[in-house]
Amino acid sequence: METISLRIITVAFNPGEELARFAASLPAAASMPYEFVVVDNGHDPHVVDDVAAASGAQVLRPGKNLGYGAAANLGAEGFEGQWILVANPDLEFAPAAIDAMLTGAEDWPRGGAFGPLIMTPEGLVYPSARRFPRLVSGAGHALLAGVWPDNPFTQAYRANANTDFPHTVDWLSGACLLLRTRAFREVGGFDESYFMFFEDTQLGEDMEAAGWQSVFLPQGTVTHEQGSSWKSRPAPMLRTHHQSAAHYLDRIYSQPYQAPLRLMLRAGLRLRGELLILRARFF
């Protein structure tokens, strides 16, 4: 029996046509045998079942919405092969993209997480390789990015996002991550205290703490539609994003004397989230 060394996992929540496009892009992206697992966090099984039947995917249904990280962890359970690839269902792989990532990863024996070049449908580079959010760069980016995209704080926050060559970074977007199974197990997988958002940032922190590298590999390319499952109802996701940001920063600035700072950051993030929700309603 042939050993399978790659498992591809996606987490679905009442998906539309994007899941079929995701699945259809896999055979041309990976020439090696792989397992394909869909973790269905939603309540409407029809699209997931149709895609699974067409693609040979295994479907896992936890019976409730676990959130992204916990669902990805569920999808990875029991796999003993070398590589786990976790990807959002609203992206498509370019031909040979997964092969290119696997080949590139061979040059980084201490690489625990690898991220491809992520493009938007409009052909723009999505800033997927980033520095850890910290008080100055993170707060400045959060406050100014929406109104001044090229502000110096955002530039510093994304300073390691050079797309010309492979290089180590602080953390990589969870939209598409190739994970060395041994490293992923060593850090305990995704931190399940994050329901959604910032579990990828925390994974970067955990990888670094355990002596593993996060590596950007531009030779692999994917196109990410971004948020197709929640664009029509952005408020819950915007609130969750800012709650997760606050949870992350609580852990970074966890000392007792930093309590006033944590309160200030939480208040600022809550205000920013509500302002973005208001903006989404009117524009």
pLDDT at residue 282 in the model: 55
Contact 52, 38 (CB under 8 A): yes
**CA-based angle 72:74:77, to the nearest 5?**
115
List 130's β-bridge partners, or say none.
171
- Say yes or no to pLDDT of 232 above 60: no
C-alpha–C-alpha distance, residues 245 and 79, integer Å: 30
- Cβ neighbors of 28 (< 8 A, separation 6 or more) are 93, 95, 96
pLDDT at residue 277 in the model: 61
pLDDT digits (tens, 9 = 90+) for 184-228: 999 999 999 999 999 999 999 999 999 999 999 999 999 998 765
C-alpha–C-alpha distance, residues 69 and 82, integer Å: 20
Place 137 in a pLDDT band, splitting at 50, 70 and 90: low
C-alpha–C-alpha distance, residues 69 and 276, integer Å: 24
Q: Which amino acid is at 84?
A: I
C-alpha–C-alpha distance, residues 276 and 52, integer Å: 36
Instruction: Please give the model's pTM, rounded to 2 decimal places.
Output: 0.87
Q: Which amino acid is at 120?
A: T
pLDDT at residue 150 in the model: 81
